[in-house]
Amino acid sequence: MRSSRTKTGGPGAIKAAAAPTPPVAAAAVTTAPLPGTSDATTFDGQPDWLRYLIDVSQRSALFMHALVERGDALLEDERAGLPLRLKFPFEVVLDARDFPEPAGYSLLRILPDGDACFERCAGANDRPVIIFDPRAGHGPGIGGFKRDSEVGMALHRGHPVYFVAHHMQPCPEQTLARVHHALRRFVAEVARRHPGQGPALYGNCQAGWAVAMLAADCAGVTGPTVLNGAPLSYWGGEAGVNPMRLAGGLTGGVWAARLMADLSGGQFDGAWLAHNFEQLDPGHAFFGKYKALFARPEAERERFVDFERWWGEYCFLTREEIVSIVENLFIGNRLEEGGFRICECCHADLRRLKSPMLVFASSGDNITPPQQALGWVPAVWPTTQALIAGGQRIVYLLNPDVGHLGIFVSADVARREHRAILDNLDALEGLEPGLYEMRILESAGDVDCLEPQYSVCFETRRVEDLPKATGTDAFERVRRHSELADACYQQTVGPVARAVGGPLLAAALKWVHPMRASRLAWSHALNPFAYGIDAAAAWATAARAPLAPHHPWAAAELRALDAGSAVFDDWRRQRDAAIESLFATLFDTRDRQATD
């Protein structure tokens, strides 16, 4: 078996990230004027409107060329097998595709890369850290997407670092039970390699609830558990602010996910999960991120293309996996209720949790708001005394404004919150049973320093003060309707969809999905104007002379772009209010009883 030895490459191994496509006429960039300046020779005597027209033409060419690069990168990475977006060298320790019950996951050991800081800090802490990357539609690598990341901070603090990565294609007949057992074996292998120190489990987003299940199943792993932006209470959220929790009811329940998997030959395209994410903030998805690129194409191009290489590549889940996730979590909310059955012999019960748990959430997270990250605590332990009697330590850390992705990819968050978490893993185990808020009182200084430049305290809190889900009767009604609709689907449309679905239809549905088609439409392979855009970008790079930010026409453009963003934001708020109203009309009997 391949899992019995360490390997760094070869057929079937996870591939290293491909190098980004070099910019057009990169050598010419060094001679172009700096942003915010104006070339007096070029513009001398020209009216302001003509200066602006030249500037906007150059920015448009560079903007479109970045879109061409993004489309080409997607095709390039598809040919390369969608390589792992991890910025650190690694070796494969275990490949779960070789297990008796295979699963599309691998355990990686992060290797030294010659960085002086990492080399100096190596071995300073003997507690291993296992970072579990989310499998929520995208490919793996977000926990180590940058140098200043969860992986980078763990290396900087001297921990042995392991990374659990998923493959883009699941194994045949893969189930959540197989994945769970594979992850358990990964943890056991790390514990075997580092006896005497319980591994710290670092779960991001979807991987957070997977890690919580590891800590709460029949055996229960030990060692501190950190949940970053991880939803465990799926009915939690604020009315008019978190509409994602209502999606299951308004789409009819689990049958919609089953239909998409049936049409694709038994696999569910993760692009639909990413699509739902973008729909939460269409102003950013369809306007905001492009506005930033258009306004400063030289400064934003590399960051934009690099991020989009990860954001535009989607993994697949089996039908059994997505149905189980939607049925038990998104709609059923069975994890916090203790009813998530992993397999015939075991189920996850959060009351079994014994290892200390830290929950990191953000008020600016519209995917996993604090209510979903923390609402399970009062559901499991209704009072502070019940939590203490259970012998458990729960700590939460709140960021006031960072978004969902920022929890994992923001360099500032990595240098502050994640570093503080890693520095205090031992302190978590030393706490008395109860509920605490972790507060970072100061943060400053150089990330390469050996001592932290902040102070941390753990303040006692009451379980009774945590947010609790409201309107649960409506969500219970959604769960019953979902079960009925799914039973009807399986007896009527389901057999037809499975008969029609196959490799050809699956391939067609994959490539016409709007998340991929919108990127591929700009590539050289599909866009006949792409070579003209190359020429225009080469001209723009060679002759680039940006207007100063305070130029009246540039300032007017900025106001117009901000007005466009405001239009999207207003529409989103109206849409979210309409969704809340429709959901209440369909499922909340309290509103109807009040009307009667």
* Integer Cα distance of 225 and 428 in angstroms: 10
Give backbone dihedrals phi and psi of 433, rounded to 5 degrees, phi first.
-55, 140
Tokens of 244: 């994602």
Angle at 22 (CA atoms; ends 19, 25), nearest 5 degrees: 170
SS3 93: strand
Q: Contact, 325 vs 231, CB < 8 A?
A: no
Determine how many CB atoms are found less than 10 A away from the CB of residue 309.
24
C-alpha separations of 288 from 43, 64, 186, 279, 314 in Å: 30, 16, 40, 13, 22
Give the pLDDT of residue 220: 67
Long-range contacts formed by 515-518: CB under 8 A, 24+ apart: 515/271, 515/274, 515/275, 515/278, 515/312, 515/314, 516/74, 516/271, 516/312, 516/314
Give the pLDDT of residue 17: 41
* Integer Cα distance of 74 and 173 in angstroms: 28
Spell 11-20 as b/e; 16+ CB within 10 A means b: eebbebbbee
Residue 502 DSSP class: S
C-alpha separations of 10 from 169, 172, 457 in Å: 18, 22, 47
| DSSP labels, 196-248 | TSPPEEEEETHHHHHHHHHHHSSS---S-EEEES--S-TT---TTT-GGGGHH
Angle at 274 (CA atoms; ends 270, 278), nearest 5 degrees: 165
Give backbone dihedrals phi and psi of 272, rounded to 5 degrees, phi first.
-70, -35
Tokens of 580: 């809340």
* Integer Cα distance of 489 and 481 in angstroms: 12
Determine how many CB atoms are found less than 10 A away from the CB of residue 337.
15
C-alpha separations of 199 from 13, 127, 225, 324 in Å: 25, 6, 9, 28
* Integer Cα distance of 532 and 67 in angstroms: 13
pLDDT along the chain (596 residues), means of 10: 41 42 38 40 65 94 97 93 89 97 96 81 88 92 88 92 96 94 94 90 93 81 89 83 83 92 96 92 91 94 92 94 93 85 81 91 91 93 94 95 91 92 93 96 58 83 88 89 95 96 94 95 96 97 87 90 92 91 84 46
- Tell me the CB-side half-sphere exposure of residue 77, using CA atoms within 13 A: 34
Partners of 268 in the beta sheet? 317
- Helix 48-79 and helix 552-587: axis angle, to 10°? 50
* Integer Cα distance of 70 and 336 in angstroms: 40
Name the nearest CA neighbour of 490 among 280, 317, 334, 262: 262
Give the pLDDT of residue 35: 42
C-alpha separations of 493 from 139, 375, 497, 569 in Å: 31, 37, 6, 38
Superfamily of domain covering 90-253+344-472 = Alpha/Beta hydrolase fold, catalytic domain (3.40.50.1820)
Determine how many CB atoms are found less than 10 A away from the CB of residue 133.
31
- Three-state SS across 359-425? EEEECCCCCCCHHHHHCHHHHHCCCHHHHHHCCCEEEEEEECCCCCCHHHHCHHHHHHHHHHHHHCH
- CATH 3.40.50.1820 intervals, the chain: 90-253+344-472
Name the nearest CA neighbour of 283 among 562, 62, 578, 519: 562
Statement: the pTM of the whole predicted model exceeds 0.85: yes
- Three-state SS across 457-483? EEEEECHHHCCCCCCHHHHHHHHHHHH
